[in-house]
Each structure stands twice: as C-alpha cells, then as structure tokens.
Amino acid sequence: MESTSKRLELTQHLVELFENTPQDVISKIVYLLQGKIRPDFEGIELGVAEKLAIRAISKSSGLTTKKIEEEYRKTGDLGQAATIILEQKTQTTFLVENITIERVYETLFKIARLEGSRSQDMKMKYISSLLNDATPVEASFILKILLGTLRLGVAENTVMDALAIAYTGSKENRKALEHAYNVSSDLGKVAETVASKGIKGVEDFEIILFNPIRPMLADRVKSEREAIEKMGDEFAAEYKLDGERVQIHVDGEKAVLFSRSLENISKYYPDIIEKIPKSVLSDQVILEAEAVAINENTGEFLPFQELMHRRRKYKIEKAVSQYPITVNFFDILFYNGKSCLDVEYQERRKMLEKTVKEDEYSKHVPMKLIKSENDLEDFLENSINSGCEGVMLKMLDKPYQAGARGSFWLKLKREYRNELGDSLDLVVIGAFFGKGRRTGLYGTLLLASYDEDTDTFTSICKVGTGFTDEYLDQLYQILSSKVTIKKNPRINSEMEADVWFEPELVIEIVATEITLSPIHKAAMDEIRKGSGLALRFPKFTGKIRFEKFAEDASTNEEVINLYKGQKKMAHDKNLM
Ligand code: AMP
C-alpha cells in the first residue's frame, strides 16, 4: 500500500486484507492501518520519540546508537533503517516466536498507558521485545506506528469502501457505514459491527453518549437574494457567532466537551463542565453550542482569537476568569437517551428551548423566522451589529445531517460582498525559506485546496503577505513539527518547495481574484484543458483554523463556483 497512491488499488489491497481478517481483530487492524490504537477522540497518544526508538533498535540489534543514527541519516526513515539493520542480524539468529496482531496491539496499548519516571525505560523494553521477535519488515511498520510516521494514504472513505465490499459484497452499502461512522466517529467500531452483524447491524447503529457525532456543516451563499432563492418562502435564520463550536454530552452531573474536529476539549472549559449540567433539564442529552468570548462589563461578543488564550497547559483556572464566555446553544442531537437526528429542525429548536434553561452563562442562539428578503436583511444587520459574523439559515423541516455539508443549512456573511466575495480556508502543504527579517523562518507558504474526488490537496497559491512577526514565529513553531522528508502522496503540486509538510494545518486567506494558472493544480482541466486555478494577491487574514481538518478546507468545487461567480459579476458590471 505504501507504494501506491491510487485509491482503487488501495481499496483492492484493503478488501483482500479484510477478507482474510478474523472478526475479533478487525477493529484493531482498522486502527493500526491509520497509525492509531483507538479513535482520535479518546486522545490516546503513543508518544514515542525517535531517540527512544533508536535505543530500542540498538538493544535488539546489538549495534551502537551511533551506527543506527548513521543508517537513519542514509535512508531518511527510521523504520526502513531498522529493516536494513535487522536483516543483517537475522542472517545469524533465529526468530523465537511469531508475533501476532494482538500482541503488537496490546504492547502498543501498554506503551501508550505508561506514565511517570520509569516510563521511558519500560517503553524501550516493550519496543525492543517486539523488535526481537519481529521480522525486519514487521519491525519497520511497528516503528512507523510508534513514531507516528506510518503513511499508507488510506483516508476513512477508502477504508469504508473496502469494508462495504468485503463484508456486504457491494460498495453501494458504503452509505450505511458512513452513517454509523458519522454518529460514532469510531471506524474500528463500525468495522467490528459490519464484520459481525453485516449490513443490518450497521443500519441499526445508534448514537453512543460520550462518542462525538460528526458535525453538520453549511454551504455558503453570497447574498440575501441567493439565500431566498435557495431556502424558499419560509425558513429560520440564526446569528452566526464567531466562537468555538462545542458538542456537549451530558449524563446527569457528568459532561464531556468535543470540538468541531472531535477532540475532547473538556480541559479547556472547566466552567462549561461545571455549569451546563445544571442548566440542562433532562438526563441524557447531546447539545451543540458556540462558546464565545465576551467582554464581562458590556456583555459584547469578542472575536474568536480571544478564546485561543484558553488553549494552554497550565493555569487554566486563571484563563477561565480572564477570558469569560457565554455558551450559545443552537441544536440538540440526543434527548433522554434517544437520537433526535431525524427530527425536523423546528421541532429540535423547540426541544432545545425546553431543555436548556437560559441564564447569564447559557443562552439560546437568537433565531427568527424569515419570510422575505427584507426580514433577512434586517436580521443580518442586527447580527453584524451585535458583533457576529453573519447569519446561519436553516430549513425548517429538515433533519440533522451528521458529518455532511449540505444545502439544509446555509451561511451568509457580510464580508462575502467584498473583493472575491469570500475568504478561503486552505491547507499549508509546503514553504520557502525567508530572507531579511524572515531568515530562518518560513517566509512564504505554499497552499492547497482540497480535491474531494481524488482525496488530494491541490496547490492553489503561494502566500507571503499578512504575516506579522508574531505570526511568522507561531507558524514556524507549528509547522516545523509537520515537516516531511518526502512529499506526501496526497499533495498534488509541481512547485519546488524548500520544505514539505504533512497536509494538516488550515489557514484563512483572502484574495482579489481567481485566475487560470498553468502551474497550480486546483481544478485542473475543469475550466480549461491544461490549466488549473490560482488565487491572485492572496493575503493571510490572521486566522489559523485549528478547529478544521485538512479535509474541511475549501474544496475545488467551491473554488470553481467562486471563479464562475466572479465572471458573472464582471459580466453584470459591464452591462450596467
Ligand atoms: P464555517 O466555519 O465558516 O464553515 O461556519 C460554520 C461554523 O459556524 C460552525 O462550525 C459553528 O462553529 C459556527 N456557528 C456559529 N453560529 C452558528 C449557528 N447558529 N448554527 C450553526 N453553526 C454556527
């Protein structure tokens, strides 16, 4: 799988693997394929440093750490270096025991659990005991998983395709698997269910309290007119607050908080954990809200950046009192032990209003029924004046579509009327070193949009403006841990960047125009054969979108729509 980036080939390999996998290890295999041992939201990190891995290889091979470092430098990959070193060794020794998936998995789990002063030595012992019994190729993959450098290029969608084919006989059943994944965020559990209970088991899959639900997302519109055209005669509009989306799971006194990217962020919001269960008038619920920083004296909403002060390891209590928030509820997904995903929006809103008691801290997001363009304009104006970004528009009779971006929800921001009409969220894929005051830092970044069809990141522009010194430093610190030796196969770019990154970090960009480009790969061949699309005069807005996954970045379809929109605008202007 490492040697191909073609989705079909990867799927075929996976199908073959799953068909030969006993049911009781399928979930483990699915986690390991993605270089994990549990779903992301559990936050279990293997956290093995290169130095420690090198010591373990040294212990198993009898070679000095210096020799191993030398080999590592030659190959650029510690897993591969271990293969070469252990191959030399196995010519003279015999393997004592075959290692199994269970043993690898259990050992990795033990390693992840270790804490305290002796943990480093214990970790090394566990690793070298695995390496002792592993074949050289097995050793390489064990190390890659431990170091977090396994790159098989299998996105969740590819795994689900293969699971559907292997266990239900048809790729068509992927939809049912996707639903189960969307409500549990646990691909291992989905795999286990389809393997043991078939398609029926997956269809009956239910929400599990304290497993995050993948959030519903909104399409965008540029004007009140367009919104009315798409939403029909009557719909709801809510303020679009500029804070952090939080999914709050409550069971009695207990609460757990997940971010938009499904990370458990309870530790940053001890105030929510303490207060919200008291405002909830039901036993078991899952709620969605926007946590917004406020000015305590005036009650005004403050921009999103203020909340980032809470993302710290120590002195959280101090941050809680320094950066107060309100929690603004906009949806309910689970009520008294039952899913509400299939309940219509207007009913869910009623349930929400009944379930959450309002006070100084907990609020219902302002909402209004809209029947005309004037209504909407008025509501948008009010929301902007209260410090919001715009409005969210929601169809009254529609369910909650977990994990999907669709047209049941639309977002309308005031700033969409400027320049390009929209900002873009783009993935940082590479960088060029800076000169002058930027020496030693990344002076220019190479950015990509997301191509949903091929699951790749296509280059769309280089950006060097909009960065203060503080941002340059911060970005350097974040990005230097994402540097790769080889370009990730999911990156599609012909640029010669000085460094390449794992496509993970998303930043917000504005630009004046989208143009055809012979070098950039976004929407290649879509508008004109041999040309891609690129941004003209791109500028960083100062927003690092920590809460977004790379796959949540602006898609090529969105870029094409913006391109077409701007052509139409130019045409309309000429006619005026
Ligand atoms: P965007 O990040 O620009 O795609 O906008 C979607 C985000 O808006 C959501 O993830 C929420 O964090 C935020 N948001 C603010 N107010 C609302 C609301 N009333 N309903 C839904 N999402 C909201």
Q: Are residues 373 and 494 in the same domain?
A: no
Write down how long the chain is. 576
Tell me if 344 sits within 8 A of 397, measured CB to CB: yes
Q: Which two tokens stand for residue 308?
A: 């980032």
How many angstroms does the Cα of residue 490 sit away from the middle of ligand 1? 28
Q: Is 238 in the pocket of ligand 1 (CB under 6 A)?
A: yes
Each residue's pLDDT tens digit in the chain (576 positions)? 888 878 899 999 999 999 999 999 999 999 999 999 999 999 898 878 889 999 999 998 888 999 999 988 888 888 888 898 888 876 555 556 788 999 999 999 999 999 888 899 999 999 999 998 899 999 999 999 999 888 888 889 999 999 999 999 999 999 999 999 999 999 999 999 999 999 999 999 999 999 999 999 999 898 888 999 999 999 999 999 989 999 999 999 999 999 999 999 999 999 999 999 999 999 899 999 999 999 888 778 888 878 888 877 788 888 899 899 999 999 999 999 899 999 999 999 999 999 999 999 999 999 999 999 889 988 988 887 787 889 999 999 999 999 988 899 999 986 544 457 678 999 999 999 887 667 778 989 999 999 999 999 999 999 988 888 888 888 998 998 899 888 999 999 998 899 999 999 999 999 878 888 888 999 999 999 989 999 987 889 999 999 899 999 999 999 999 888 876 665 555 444
Q: Are residues 271 and 399 in the same domain?
A: yes
Which of 417, 433, 458 finishes a domain?
417
Q: Are residues 367 and 447 in the same domain?
A: no
- Catalytic annotation, residues: 240
Which amino acid makes up residue 459?
S
Q: Is 365 in the pocket of ligand 1 (CB under 6 A)?
A: yes
Q: Whose CA is nearest to atom 9 of ligand 1?
A: 245
CATH code, domain carrying 284: 3.30.470.30
The strand pairing partners of 8, in sequence order, are none
Q: Are residues 235 and 250 in the same domain?
A: yes
Closest-lying ligand 1 atom to the alpha carbon of residue 239: 19
104's CB contacts (< 8 A; 6+ apart) are: 32, 130, 142
Q: Is 425 in the pocket of ligand 1 (CB under 6 A)?
A: no
CB burial of 419-454 (b: ≥16 within 10 Å; e: otherwise) equals ebbbbbbbbbbbbbebeeebeebbbbbbbbbbbeee
> Does residue 234 form part of some domain?
yes
> Does residue 103 form part of some domain?
yes
Which of 417, 438, 457 finishes a domain?
417
In terms of Cβ atoms closer than 10 Å to its own Cβ (0-12, 13-18, 19+), residue 575 is exposed
Q: Is 301 in the pocket of ligand 1 (CB under 6 A)?
A: no
Which of 94, 112, 147 finishes a domain?
147
> Does residue 84 form part of some domain?
yes
Phi first, then psi: give them for residue 314, nearest 5 degrees.
-120, 165
Tell me if 462 sits within 8 A of 446, measured CB to CB: yes
How many angstroms does the Cα of residue 241 sit away from the middle of ligand 1? 7
How many angstroms does the Cα of residue 392 sit away from the middle of ligand 1? 7
Tell me if 358 sits within 8 A of 289, measured CB to CB: no
Q: Is 349 in the pocket of ligand 1 (CB under 6 A)?
A: no
Best residue among 239, 262, 290 to mutate for probing ligand 1's pocket (most ligand atoms within 8 Å of CB) is 290
> Which domain covers residue 251, as residue numbers?
217-417
Q: Are residues 382 and 477 in the same domain?
A: no
> Does residue 4 form part of some domain?
no
What radius of gyration do the chain's Cα atoms show? 25
Q: Which two tokens stand for residue 148?
A: 């977090």
The strand pairing partners of 325, in sequence order, are 293
As for how many domains the chain has, the answer is 3
Q: Is 553 in the pocket of ligand 1 (CB under 6 A)?
A: no
Q: Whose CA is nearest to atom 8 of ligand 1?
A: 240
Q: Which two tokens stand for residue 35?
A: 């270089």
Tell me if 390 sits within 8 A of 411, measured CB to CB: yes
Q: Is 189 in the pocket of ligand 1 (CB under 6 A)?
A: no
Tell me if 396 sits within 8 A of 410, measured CB to CB: no
Comparing CA positions, the residue from 464, 541, 456 lying closest to residue 491 is 456
How many angstroms does the Cα of residue 245 sit away from the middle of ligand 1? 7
How many angstroms does the Cα of residue 492 sit away from the middle of ligand 1? 30
